Each structure stands twice: as C-alpha cells, then as structure tokens.
C-alpha cells in the first residue's frame, strides 16, 4: 500500500471460474447464498454480509459487530486471457468516508482563510499571528492522515488474508 493511496487496492489472479470464485468468497466470509441473486443482498448470522452481482461483490461487517474503523470491501472479478483477476478495494463505511473528505476540505478552507487573514495582518503592519493557525491546521491534517493510514492497515490485513485463503 503506497502512502498516497486513498483506498487500498490489491489484485489477485486465479484460474477459477467466476462462479467458483464467488462461491469461495462467500464461504470464506460465511455469507449464505441468496436464492434471489438480483436483489443481491445476503445477510446471515455471520459477522459479514455481502451484496453479489455479476462480476462484483460488496462485503461489509454486520451492523451489530461494526466498529468505527470497520471496512467495506468492493471486489471486481474480470477475465484476462486465461485467468480471472479479482481486484479488492477497501474503503471505510460511506458515512466515515464522507466525514474524512469533509474534514480534509475543512482543513484546506481553514488554511486558506488563515493565510488570507495573516497576509491582511502583515499588510496592515500588525503582528501576523494568524500564520500560526496554519501550523495547527497542518498538524490536524497530518493527524487525520496518520489515523486513516492506521485504520487502512488494520483493515487490509484481515480482509486480504480472507481473500487469499478463499482463492487458494
């Protein structure tokens, strides 16, 4: 996982058919098959639930066991030559993802306004104390980035190992 990557992505290659891959992924996460695949929402008593459609799957942790840092995993299965490529992408719950993006936007706006205010203070011959706010906001951005990377690492290890076991 590179430092600049927002959502960790990892590809797997497999000679298995799409149906067999989905069956193994369901078994790995203990997600029962739904007879109405078009509705595609499968819930069981397991820790995970998933939505499966042709070539795509969305797996998340059941609401009763979900934590703040619990990931959602999107899988795409596509054919390349003789093998299937399964690409997994991890992301936080949509409400968390919205909060993270909003936080980065707020940090950018606060930095911009602190810079404008500091420049105004400097042009008026006053002490530009607003420049100090930029340092505080930068520290908040670095903290947010650090926490997001820590959460991604925790989630990626668990989900990736389950997919690797399913595809073996």
Query: Does the pLDDT of residue 161 top 80, yes or no?
Result: no
Q: Which of 1-15, 72-86, 148-162 reaches the highest mean pLDDT?
A: 72-86
Encode pLDDT of 76-132 as tens digits: 988 888 888 888 888 877 788 888 889 999 999 999 999 999 999 999 999 999 999
- How far apart (Å, rounded) are the C-alpha atoms in residues 63 and 46? 11
| pLDDT of the residue at 50 | 84
Mean pLDDT of 21-39: 69
CATH topology of domain 1-168: Alpha-D-Glucose-1,6-Bisphosphate; Chain A, domain 4 (3.30.530)
Mean pLDDT of 28-56: 66
| pLDDT of the residue at 47 | 77
Q: Dihedral through CA 23, CA 26, CA 31, CA 36, nearest 10?
A: -50
| pLDDT of the residue at 6 | 66
Reported pTM: 0.65
13 close to 83: Cβ distance less than 8 angstroms: yes
Average pLDDT over all residues of the chain: 81
Strand pairing report for 9-14 and 83-92: antiparallel
């Amino acid at each position: 996982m590179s430092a600049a990557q927002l959502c960790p992505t990892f590809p797997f290659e497999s000679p298995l058919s799409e149906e067999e891959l989905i069956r193994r992924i369901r078994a790995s996460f203990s997600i029962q098959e739904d007879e109405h695949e078009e509705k595609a929402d499968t819930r069981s008593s397991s820790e995970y639930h998933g939505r499966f459609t042709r070539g795509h799957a969305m797996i998340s942790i059941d609401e009763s066991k979900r934590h703040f840092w619990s990931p959602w995993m999107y899988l795409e299965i596509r054919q390349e030559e003789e093998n299937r490529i399964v690409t997994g992408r991890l992301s936080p719950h949509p409400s968390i993802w919205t909060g993270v993006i909003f936080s980065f936007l707020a940090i950018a706006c606060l930095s911009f306004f602190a810079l404008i205010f500091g420049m105004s203070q400097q042009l008026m011959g006053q002490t530009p104390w607003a420049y100090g706010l930029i340092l505080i906001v930068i520290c908040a951005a670095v903290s947010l980035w650090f926490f997001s990377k820590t959460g991604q690492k925790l989630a990626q290890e668990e989900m990736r190992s389950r997919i690797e076991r399913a595809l073996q």
